[in-house]
């Protein structure tokens, strides 16, 4: 299963959601890989406790290999770095991704990530963290993924951007990746006692947008999690936010199974 976590707006919790859902998957025994395509490298720092510049193998080298033909290219799995957490690996980001983007675009390497992941059987789940922009790396991730999870902050600016984002995903699905599904919109930094967030969520549901039932609350604990480079399931397994992440993971899994059953019925 390959999922991309995407929003064109920064600061909506993409890296936090990616790493915590991946860590939950790994804690349940599933071989899990996080691919960090954001040059800022927040997911890399979160899972490894160091930046991609300190990693011998990283995403910049992974994409650079696509530009320079080699008789014996390094296998995709060899770029993955083991984290301190069982079953969880990361393909680290690197600042050089910014410099590579123009070259990759000009040589039309947009499908190379999909091809590299198609035969990657070393992992049961792959989570892709993307930059806060619809650029080459984000498009590559959406083309390579089966599911898309969209973080959403409960404010009017985020809501306005959401419609454009969904149109962009639909365009990529129609033109490049018919298997891509928006699995759901994750309401992040949710304040249950405030009236505006609930009003926005209700309005999105009334428009039949795929808002997930599992919301993520605001918590200072997650900042400690970032600082210590330990996902919530390992730092505070019984914390309210951790349990919300677990519920979100379960909901995504249930929705995926339901979608697969529906697909089987259509084929029968």
Q: In angstroms, rounded to a whole number, what is the distance separating the alpha carbons of residues 209 and 180? A: 16
pLDDT score of 111 = 96
106 in helix, strand or coil?
helix
Q: In angstroms, rounded to a whole number, what is the distance separating the alpha carbons of residues 232 and 265? A: 38
Give the Cβ contact number of residue 263 at 10 Å. 10
b/e code 99-110 from CB counts within 10 Å (16+ = b): ebbeebeeeebb
pLDDT score of 70 = 67
Tokens linked to 49: 């406790």
* Residue 231: closest CA among 240, 220, 222: 222
Tokens linked to 20: 């915590």
CATH number for the domain running over 2-267? 3.40.50.300
- What mean pLDDT is reported for the chain? 92
pLDDT score of 117 = 94
- The secondary structure of residue 86, as a DSSP letter, is T
pLDDT digits (tens, 9 = 90+) for 242-255: 999 999 999 999 98
pLDDT digits (tens, 9 = 90+) for 136-175: 999 999 999 999 999 988 777 778 888 889 999 999 999 9
pLDDT score of 165 = 92
Largest Cα separation within the chain, whole Å, is 60
Low-confidence ranges of the chain (pLDDT < 50): none
pLDDT score of 257 = 85
């Amino acid at each position: 299963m390959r999922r991309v976590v995407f929003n064109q707006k920064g600061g909506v919790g993409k890296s936090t959601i990616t790493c915590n859902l991946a860590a939950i998957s790994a804690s349940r025994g599933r071989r899990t890989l996080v691919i960090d395509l954001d040059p800022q490298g927040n997911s890399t720092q979160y899972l490894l406790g160091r930046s991609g510049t300190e990693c011998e193998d990283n995403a910049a080298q992974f994409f650079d290999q696509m530009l320079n033909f080699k008789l014996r290219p390094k296998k995709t799995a060899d770029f993955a770095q083991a984290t301190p957490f069982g079953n969880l690996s990361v393909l680290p980001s690197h600042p050089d991704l910014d410099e590579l983007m123009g070259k990759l675009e000009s040589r039309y390497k947009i499908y190379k990530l999909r091809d590299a992941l198609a035969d990657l059987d070393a992992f049961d789940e792959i989570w892709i963290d993307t930059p806060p922009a619809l650029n080459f790396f984000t498009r590559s991730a959406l083309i390579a993924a089966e599911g898309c999870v969209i973080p959403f902050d409960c404010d009017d600016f985020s809501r306005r951007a959401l419609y454009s984002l969904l149109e962009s995903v639909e365009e990529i699905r129609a033109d490049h990746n018919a298997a891509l599904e928006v699995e759901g919109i994750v309401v992040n930094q949710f304040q249950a006692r405030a009236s505006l967030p609930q009003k926005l969520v209700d309005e999105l549901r009334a428009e039949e947008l795929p808002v997930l039932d599992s919301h993520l609350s605001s918590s200072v604990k997650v900042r400690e999690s970032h600082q210590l480079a330990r996902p919530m399931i390992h730092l505070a397994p019984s914390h309210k936010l951790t349990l919300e992440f677990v519920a979100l993971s379960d909901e995504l899994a249930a929705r995926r199974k339901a979608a697969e059953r529906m697909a089987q019925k259509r084929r029968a």
